[in-house]
Amino acid sequence: MLGILLTNIGTPAAPRAREVRRFLRRFLSDQRVVELPRLAWYPILYGLVLPVRGPKSARAYQRIWMSEGSPHAVYTERLRLALARELESRRPGRTRVEAAFLYGGQSVGKALERLRAAGAERIIALPLFPQTSGTTTGAAYDEIARCLSVLRDVPELRLIPGYAAQPDYIAALVASLEQHWQQQGGRTHLLMSFHGIPIRCVTKGDPYERQCRDTAARLSSALQLTAEQWTISFQSRFGAERWLEPATYAALAQLPARGIRAVTIFCPGFSVDCLETLEEIAIGGREVFLHAGGARFDYVPALNDRPEHAHALAELLLA
């Protein structure tokens, strides 16, 4: 039996301040996420960030919460099921897929237990981060290693560090955008927004920025876009230090001044929709663009459980 372990960031259990603070406390306590010395960071985290950001983030979650629960968890589960169906069609009865979250939701340890109980002797771990970063992929590896460290009978393990340039992943992105433009009656300027990281991470060797720009270049080439027809940006800034640029909100505010009053925004670094895409971009980004003089704002959902996405991940896992 082959076990597939999908990992993602995680989500609060409910869109309330207490649950959001609990999630943020776990998330922002990870040394991979915030690399400051703990003695310097914890007073800021507990004295300022959690009391202020907890209620604010709870209100943001309330704007996008689904009847089934957190969008991040709902779409991750739908992707898990789609991938399981895809793999079952190729390897009947020989594959089990579990999804785990690093900071909220089913834990990595619990998912590994379920895979072992199902008879998985080999496990492939796939963090659902197309572009590799120590802040995400590295954090997933750390947690997997921590959970395996207590086992006597350690399974064979393969780790997949990312898939930013995988042809099937690029093809899935292309299919999603082309379908959207066909439904909307034509193309508009494409803004590709990736999650940001501090520039300090890049200077220390993090490959994330390079891989984001490579994904954007491959996608624009596959769509046969000229340099004037697309823009790359980075979102979700946090803290006072310098992050990757241009910032997404700044880019959206500048587009109308360039004569671009219709924009399609896509987030190729997010495997499934979540707070950062649905609230920060689809809602907040729209407000920024229209306030700056834009006329038409189209958010294209993440790949989520699209068949092309499940196909791309299956190809990656079985390669």
Is the pLDDT score of 152 beyond 90?
Answer: no
Task: Kindly calculate the radius of gyration of the chain based on its CA atoms and give it in whole angstroms.
Answer: 20
**Cβ atoms within 10 Å, residue 150:** 8
> Which pLDDT does position 206 carry in this prediction?
97
pTM of the model: 0.96
Percentage of the chain modeled with pLDDT above 90: 95
Give dist(CA 131, CA 128) in Å, integer.
9
**How confident is residue 239, by pLDDT bands cut at 50, 70 and 90?**
confident
Is the pLDDT score of 279 beyond 90?
Answer: yes
Is the pLDDT score of 223 beyond 90?
Answer: yes
Percentage of the chain modeled with pLDDT above 70: 100
Q: Which residue has the higher pLDDT, 197 or 151?
A: 197
- The residue ranges of every structural domain in the chain are 167-299
**What average pLDDT does range 301-308 have in this prediction?**
98
Q: Which residue has the higher pLDDT, 111 or 36?
A: 111
Q: 3-state SS string over the chain?
A: CEEEEEEECCCCCCCCHHHHHHHHHHHHCCCCCCCCCHHHHHHHHHHHHHHHHHHHHHHHHHHHCECCECHHHHHHHHHHHHHHHHHHHHCCCCEEEEEEECCCCCCHHHHHHHHHHCCCCEEEEEECCCCCCCCCHHHHHHHHHHHHCCCCCCCEEEECCCCCCCHHHHHHHHHHHHHHHHHHCCCCEEEEEEECCEHHHHHCCCCHHHHHHHHHHHHHHHCCCCHHHEEEEEECCCCCCCECCCEHHHHHHHCHHHCCCEEEEECCCCCCCCHHHHCHHHHHHHHHHHHCCCCEEEECCCCCCCHHHHHHHHHHHHC
> Which pLDDT does position 275 carry in this prediction?
98
For the stretch 256-270, pLDDT in tens is: 999 999 999 999 999
Mean pLDDT (the chain, rounded): 96
Is the pLDDT score of 3 beyond 90?
Answer: yes
63 CB-near residues (< 8 Å, 6+ apart): 279, 283
> Which pLDDT does position 242 carry in this prediction?
95
Is the pLDDT score of 238 beyond 90?
Answer: no
Give dist(CA 20, CA 279) in Å, integer.
15
Give dist(CA 317, CA 319) in Å, integer.
6
> Which pLDDT does position 153 carry in this prediction?
87
**What average pLDDT does range 223-245 have in this prediction?**
95
CATH fold of 167-299 reads Rossmann fold (3.40.50)
For the stretch 68-88, pLDDT in tens is: 999 999 999 999 999 999 999
**What average pLDDT does range 51-60 have in this prediction?**
96
